[in-house]
Structure 1
């Protein structure tokens, strides 16, 4: 074959091979057609701030059942939290674990408070392992103190939720899922 015809043939062969290799790279493999990277990288965020509480700072509330409510300015992780008694005041008698509401910013916690006392709580007294946003950036430390007046106690969860401004679907305790009736689990 004359040299003049060989050069275009070599160039044509190289172009076809490159196109074929490029097409093979873009085709997903049969083994992993929807492969997804398991790494999630979130952008840096500012520390979350406590923007509202119930009760509010220095508010007077009725004795009995109290729902402590803490709202942050960012979506929060439901699995990390830290609260402790504020210095110099009575510690509250509360359930251990707060519940994150569906807005993903507000935690609620059911407590019992007694008349004639001053209570306080510090959120993220230890920032490590405390309330944090979805990027695992811990919230700033914040304290809250309030007074409990003498008077008729709050004795129902419904009334405590009303006072905290919660709807019926924002209960501070979540019922566990019910076991199905007639299921095969459970030692038949």
Structure 2
């Protein structure tokens, strides 16, 4: 009797385990990767070209804004600041390889005062933001242009902004595959 009772107990205990072993495995559940960022301070502008209140040559200008921490490449917002003329610039600034410096290609007229608002929009809109998506405080950069000889070459504007040859304010579009002609 003991042997049959022992066999019955073993079947009761091992039955679910054996049933699970023969049951087909469920496919894994996909999970999106999650990045957890530590708390960060709001990014601060630590340098600009031109500097606030500075007078620069008119013409081609590479506007440069440097933050104190790494920024998100596609997050930015700039516009017309109060007390100045609207700066004529490309639509999209470029974040340089240091991940802290944005550059933007613009043109200026002689004898003007320009005011550029950084993060001028509402709290939910686009903004200069760090990697943790912490928005920089709104700020305004105001500068003037003189009436002297204008800057007419991009390389001179890059040099004036203190940038190197690799710090182009615009990115070239990738080469598109050109269709070849049949012989």
TM-score computed with the length of structure 1 as normaliser: 0.77
Q: Distance in 2 between matches of 1:55 and 1:158?
A: 16
Please state whether the residue corresponding to 1:161 is helix, strand or coil.
helix
Q: Distance in 2 between matches of 1:36 and 1:60?
A: 57
Q: Distance in 1 between matches of 2:180 and 2:99?
A: 34
RMSD after superposition: 3.3
Match of 2:56 in 1: 61
1:173 aligns with 2:170: yes
Match of 2:67 in 1: 72
Number of corresponding residues: 176
Match of 1:38 in 2: 32
- Uncovered stretches (5+) of structure 2, i.e. residues with no partner: 18-25
Match of 1:121 in 2: 116
Q: Distance in 1 between matches of 2:113 and 2:54?
A: 10
Q: Distance in 1 between matches of 2:36 and 2:53?
A: 37
Post-superposition CA distance 1:109-147 (Å, at most 9, x none)? 011111111111110012431111111111111111111
1:155 aligns with 2:149: no
Please state whether the residue corresponding to 2:143 is helix, strand or coil.
strand
> Shift of the alpha carbon at 1:155?
0.1
Q: Distance in 1 between matches of 2:69 and 2:85?
A: 29
Structure 1 stretches of 4+ with a deviation exceeding 4 A read 181-184
Q: Distance in 2 between matches of 1:67 and 1:134?
A: 24
- Uncovered stretches (5+) of structure 1, i.e. residues with no partner: 18-28
Post-superposition CA distance 1:5-60 (Å, at most 9, x none)? x9xxx9xxx9xx9xxxxxxxxxxx9x77xx98523233322211111100001111
Q: Distance in 1 between matches of 2:36 and 2:118?
A: 24
2:79 aligned to which of 76, 84, 89: 84
